Amino acid sequence: MRVFKFGGASVKDADGVKNVVNVLNQMGHKDTLVVISAMGKTTNAMEKVVEAYFKDKDAVAGMLQEVMDYHDGILAELFQNTSHPIYSKIKLLFEEVKGFLTWNKSPKYAFVYDQVVGYGELVSTTIVSEYLNEVGMASTWLDVRTLIKTDNNYRDAQINWDRTQSEVTAKVDMSKLNITQGFLGSDDNNFTTTLGREGSDYTAAILAYCLNAESVTIWKDVPGVLNADPRNFKETQLLEQISYREAIELAFYGASVIHPKTLQPLQRKEIPLHVKSFVNPKDKGTTVGKGIGIVPKVPCFIVKKDQVLLKLSSLDFSFIVEDNISEIFKLFHDHRLKVDLIQNSAISFSVCLDNKFNGLQSMLDELKRKFKVVCHEEVSLYTIRHFNDNAVKSLQNGKSVLVEQRGKETVQLVVK
């Protein structure tokens, strides 16, 4: 069995859904499991619904209606018969969202987030599966929440591999074309969990691992894995082959094409990962698998924006030793701040953080009780794998470099 994954950009409108059919026709669709994300920017829109639920409940209905109208527009282009069962199915899914927001008593943001935001995937896969059936490509819709079992760490759930393996083995018919959701799982109480933003790639890898799939293909709006994000860098180059190790390094530093968690289960079973264009599905794209390094071997640029740089020093000029560092990292963990770079000296400690869960301000109050703290917000962290002098100079020009760190293969710059 093969696993295909289509992201939100590939199904952002009716033409995108029709193109999924085109890709499946060109590449074959027997013995295939297709993982699909929410359509377009639906996840962002649903996140705003959750935010409004906690801050401005009067705005919730209007925001949710906008999401419904967006999907109704896609339905109208795909299913001209308004009596088609798909209309009632989609209406029922949105009624479930409204019902949850009405009866929910939990004050926990992360819990509410997971119960609401995941409907983007449930809606998109229902539409795609029904359309495939409509055009004569028989498909089976699977609720991934019954397959992927997790803990209850909402918004960043961890996989229960034994239970997931058991559920996938029992419920996936490998002889059929199966359609399921990315990003989602469920805990022991069958509440929806999510695997972290951009977690649909990880979903594809989890299912491929459990199914002993022959390959995973991620369909993107780019020709494959590039040596830099074309949205941030002018000149980019296609990487034709990447080893698992090199791809994990790139993902760790923040390369956006492959989710950081995706590669680990694939590497364990040596399942190749293909990254290809849904515009030109026959093009070669990029293959990640066994091997050495990258082909061609060129500098690879990665940027993570909206980061936070903290510079800590002891109030009495004493050393920042193991006890202090342990305490600092516990604070990072407790406030859900991801560490992207560390640099320390005898009496100071610098760290670049990702504040995606907005825990910074509460943590700063605690840090300032014991340390002198200098905080730079809205900085960018640039990473260059396989750097050379010209590559480094191209990033330094016109920028204020706050921290520079060099290793054998990698240089990182925190710039303002």
pLDDT at 248 over 90: no
Work out the mean pLDDT of the chain and round it to a whole number: 94
- Residue 197 confidence (pLDDT): 73
Q: Which pLDDT value is given to residue 275?
A: 95
Helix (H, G, I), strand (E, B) or coil at 122: helix
pLDDT of amino acid 291 = 82
Task: Give the pLDDT band (50/70/90) at residue 168.
Answer: very high
Query: 353-357 long-range CB contacts below 8 Å, 24 or more apart?
Result: 353/307, 353/308, 353/309, 353/310, 354/304, 354/307, 354/308, 355/306, 355/307, 355/308, 356/197, 357/155
Distance from chain centroid for Cα 232? 19
What does the alpha-carbon distance between residue 178 and residue 138 come to, in Å, rounded to a whole number? 9
Model confidence pLDDT, tens digit, residues 1-57: 999 999 999 999 999 999 999 999 999 998 999 999 999 999 999 999 999 999 999
* Alpha-carbon gap, residue 322 to 333, rounded angstroms: 16
What's the length of the chain?
416
- By CB atoms closer than 10 A (0-12, 13-18, 19+), residue 9 is middle
What residues are designated binding site for ATP? 231
DSSP code, position 157:
P
Query: Which residues make Cβ contacts (< 8 Å) with residue 321, sequence separation at least 6?
Result: none
Distance CA 132, CA 114 (A): 28
Angle at 203 between CA 93 and CA 220, to 5 degrees: 90
Set out the domains of the chain in order of their start, with CATH numbers: 2-220 (3.40.1160.10), 300-415 (3.30.2130.10)
pLDDT in tens, 305-339: 999 999 998 877 677 776 688 889 999 999 999 99
Q: What is the largest CA-CA distance in the chain?
A: 75
Cβ 2 vs Cβ 213: under 8 Å: yes
Closest alpha carbon to 131 in 75, 50, 183, 176: 75
Query: Over 80: is that where the pLDDT of 383 sits?
Result: yes
Closest C-alpha to 213, from 380, 370, 35: 35
Percentage of the chain with pLDDT > 70? Answer: 99
Give the tens place of pLDDT for each residue, 188-222: 999 999 998 778 999 999 999 999 999 999 999 88
